[in-house]
Structure 1
Amino acid sequence: MFFSEATLRWLEVILKERFGYNFVLSQKVGELTLLLPGRQGSISFDNLQEVFHQSRSDFSCEQWRASVEGFKGPIEDTLFAPSSTELSAPLIELCDQGAIIHYDILGLAYWMLSRLEEIGRTDLDEHQRFPAVSSHAYKHNYLERPIIDEWMIILGQVIQQVWPQTELRRHEFSVKVSHDVDTPSQYAFKPWPTIGRMMAGYLLKRREFKAFFTAPHVKLATGAQLHPADPYNTFDWLMDVSEANNIQSAFYFLCGRTSPVRDSDYELEYPAIRNLIRRIHDRGHEIGLHPSYGTFQKPELIKQEADRLKRVCAELGIVQTEWGGRMHYLRWEQPTTLRAWENCGMSYDSTLGYADSPGFRCGTCYEYPAFDPVAQTHLRLRIRPLVVMECSVISCMYLGLRNSDEALKKVTDLKKKCRKVNGLFTLLWHNSYFDNKELFGVYKKALQC
């Protein structure tokens, strides 16, 4: 099988970003060769995998011990190697001409980063999402490993043996935290009949007297600003925590209403929301897009909502060098939604994590340029993979780690793996997801350690 010319050029960009050199890829039947212009030698991949050019998850996964062949695994000695055939031994051979790698590292990178695995799938969940449980990574227990980053580090070790004078690009671990603003206020924008039902529940079912009185008070007292007593008004606290850790938060706002049940009850034009957006920007944090529930298969609606966000920000005098965001409910259809983000001029998307399990949906914790595997086109859009969404860890619908120590351990374990490969740890935590005081502590510790 052959890579298209567009795929080869895209993979060259991936390699340039990772290693800092303008490598050249050439191919012939059954073999892909990595060359470094101006240098002698080459690295050949001679066991190309047909499955890495297919949308499927029903093939095997091997494991390879790096130390047996004199290499160092960045996270563990054993690396996962999705493959339809048994691995050769040795897997990596050095020779006078350079090196031969008997594993399709670049094919794996193409398959994982382009999300080819997901195209045309029908094993979807109730929200029409491709779920973690359907993925090859989940089925073979490597979802919580950034396997592309691990194999790239092994490839870097081979590069330095073939071309000893190379000084590969050094990457530094970093953290990006974002907040989907699904519900900026628990009470302010709900109609009075809904407030009445909430109050009845507080009084008659749960005996929560403080909440019983807070609900109507916040509803009545919210004007041009969100009320400080509103339980979901955690925005200043979130920014305080980010600033204490030298982190810029990104707040992604819903800009449409395509589902009366799944979307929120606020409009961007409300004075309290406009003032919130202005305050976030004034404190040096980012404003982003959170397309509404019914848009993921409708590029024209995503563009309408992106234009609406940019218009409101322009009216507020907000200028940003880049615009990004995330799909509501992490709804994504590859490559339909990818193309929609590209076509409405967004800089990056951070949807690609699974709702039902945290981890590395794309096999990486590095940001990278997007690629449409159907049109075989390298896009301007960048993919910023999502590693952890808080409700994936805590909610009883998913992992259900309600114990704060267990939840924190899961989050920090994934963060440590990002650190070991000098990547980017991305955390999504909704402003409204603090239903007990312990979660404030979990959030702060997750950013600190």
Structure 2
Amino acid sequence: MRVKRDELSGELWRLFTLEEERSTERDVHGRVLAKSLSGDPTVPVISEFLYERGFRAKWPRGKRFAACLTHDVDWAYPPPKHTEKVLRGGIGRVPLRAKVLWRLGSNSGWRLYNPYSLDRIIEVEREFSAVSSFMVKATPKEWLDEKHEDLYNLNYLASRLERLIDNGWEVGLHAGYASHDNSERLAREKALLESTLNGYRVAGVRMHYLRFSYPDTWLAVEAAGFKYDTTLAFPDRPGFRNGMCYPFHPVVNDRMLNILEIPLAVMDTTFWGYMRVQPSEALEMIRELAYRVERVGGVLTVLWHNNTFCELLYGEWGRMYRSLLSFLRDRGAWLTNCLNLWEYWVDNYG
């Protein structure tokens, strides 16, 4: 069934890309936005089509669907612009004690107090027997686009990342701003991250700013030696950019690529950065997506940035992640990371 399913989804995907290819409207990052296209991205229409024709995905331990949990680490610790924002109280009422802690952190290299720490994410996920993927930047300094990305010390994170790997979490690459269609850059960033982690094999990648160019991004990901990509999404709307909530092998020029695409459905910044909705509204939107994924036994891939867990800057958005995991667990989701999902899908569906 693998070939038939992937060939079919490839043909249907081709229909979906036609409108994108014909659209001349792009944002400042060269991305196609959902608002510029017709259709409802919240409906996984291709997955529903496949489900109606008999495809069934079975998940470990009888789970109804999968929730793939991911975190893009854009900053390992707050950059100066965030520090000044907090210290000025520019985000609302910031308690004096919190300002003192933040100042201590900024004066000591964030060793005493780091509001962007990965540890708080691990603590929450452990409550739900969940694991996730941390997508980490390894962009060489000379490649930095300072307008769109900040440099952080990868060695600062190394021991923390190795610990979480040892405990079942995954580390993937969060590729540089200009790497989304460049296999040589992707390969170099992958090698740098792997060497920092003492030879750990990095399996997957997500592009910075969700930059994606069809079919160049997939071809670059394959050529760079990755096993999966999890970039495919609209930044401005939640949902399914190609109507798929199943992982799939991309088809380019009638060739099935040797990578898996794990479509991204939910990103925190979509709600507070683009749609300007409240956390309660966002949670309800995610629930509706989850119901649709559950009906077809698909995958709901979630991106919650590590900095969003800083309540001083993001308030309820950080706390909302716990509510989301509670809901997904109660709906019978397999709460896992991209690497586990890739291994399971390839073992069972090719």
Alignment counterpart, residue 239 of structure 2, candidates 359, 362, 384: 359
Name whichever structure is richer in strand by fraction: 1
- TM-superposition CA deviations, 1:301-359 (whole Å, max 9, x none): 122111211221225xx3x5x61121000011111111110001101011001101000
1:409 matches 2:270? no
TM-score scaled by structure 2?
0.81
TM-score scaled by structure 1?
0.64
In structure 1, the partner of 2:299 is 424
1:262 matches 2:148? yes
In structure 1, the partner of 2:28 is 126
Distance 1:209 1:244, change over 3 A: closer
Shift, 1:283, TM fit: 2.2
Alignment counterpart, residue 350 of structure 1, candidates 216, 224, 230: 230
Distance of 2:246 and 2:42 partners within structure 1: 14
Distance of 2:86 and 2:50 partners within structure 1: 55
Amino acid at match of 1:123: E
Distance of 1:300 and 1:258 partners within structure 2: 15
Name whichever structure is richer in helix by fraction: 2
Task: Give the conservation status (yes or no) of the 8 Å contact 1:394–1:401.
Answer: yes
Alignment counterpart, residue 75 of structure 2, candidates 183, 193, 196: 183
Distance of 1:151 and 1:196 partners within structure 2: 49
Structure 2, gaps ≥5 residues long: 328-350
Give the match's secondary structure for 2:259: strand
In structure 2, the partner of 1:399 is 275
Distance of 2:221 and 2:258 partners within structure 1: 10
In structure 2, the partner of 1:91 is none
In structure 1, the partner of 2:333 is none
Task: Give the conservation status (yes or no) of the 8 Å contact 1:184–1:232.
Answer: yes
Task: Give the conservation status (yes or no) of the 8 Å contact 1:14–1:369.
Answer: no
Distance 1:116 1:245, change over 3 A: farther
Task: Give the conservation status (yes or no) of the 8 Å contact 1:252–1:287.
Answer: yes
Distance 1:332 1:208, change over 3 A: same
Distance 1:447 1:198, change over 3 A: closer
Task: Give the conservation status (yes or no) of the 8 Å contact 1:325–1:349.
Answer: yes
Task: Give the conservation status (yes or no) of the 8 Å contact 1:202–1:211.
Answer: no
1:108 matches 2:12? yes
Give the match's secondary structure for 1:156: coil
1:201 matches 2:88? yes
Distance of 2:241 and 2:83 partners within structure 1: 42
Distance of 1:334 and 1:128 partners within structure 2: 12
Q: How many residues align?
A: 317
Shift, 1:300, TM fit: 1.9
Amino acid at match of 2:161: I
In structure 1, the partner of 2:344 is none
Distance of 1:411 and 1:300 partners within structure 2: 36
Structure with more contact order per residue of length (Cα contacts < 8 Å, sep ≥ 6): 2
Task: Give the conservation status (yes or no) of the 8 Å contact 1:303–1:340.
Answer: no
Distance 1:105 1:388, change over 3 A: closer
In structure 1, the partner of 2:128 is 245
1:387 matches 2:265? yes
RMSD, aligned α-carbons: 2.9
Task: Give the conservation status (yes or no) of the 8 Å contact 1:176–1:247.
Answer: no
- TM-superposition CA deviations, 1:229-255 (whole Å, max 9, x none): 22211x122122223323220000111
Shift, 1:416, TM fit: 1.4
Taking only the aligned residue pairs, the percentage that are identical comes to 27
Task: Give the conservation status (yes or no) of the 8 Å contact 2:144–2:150.
Answer: no
Distance of 2:83 and 2:57 partners within structure 1: 59
Amino acid at match of 2:275: L
In structure 2, the partner of 1:72 is none
Distance of 1:378 and 1:309 partners within structure 2: 28
Distance 1:210 1:291, change over 3 A: same
Structure 1, gaps ≥5 residues long: 1-11, 18-24, 26-103, 158-167
Task: Give the conservation status (yes or no) of the 8 Å contact 1:203–1:209.
Answer: no
1:283 matches 2:167? yes
Alignment counterpart, residue 376 of structure 1, candidates 234, 254, 261: 254
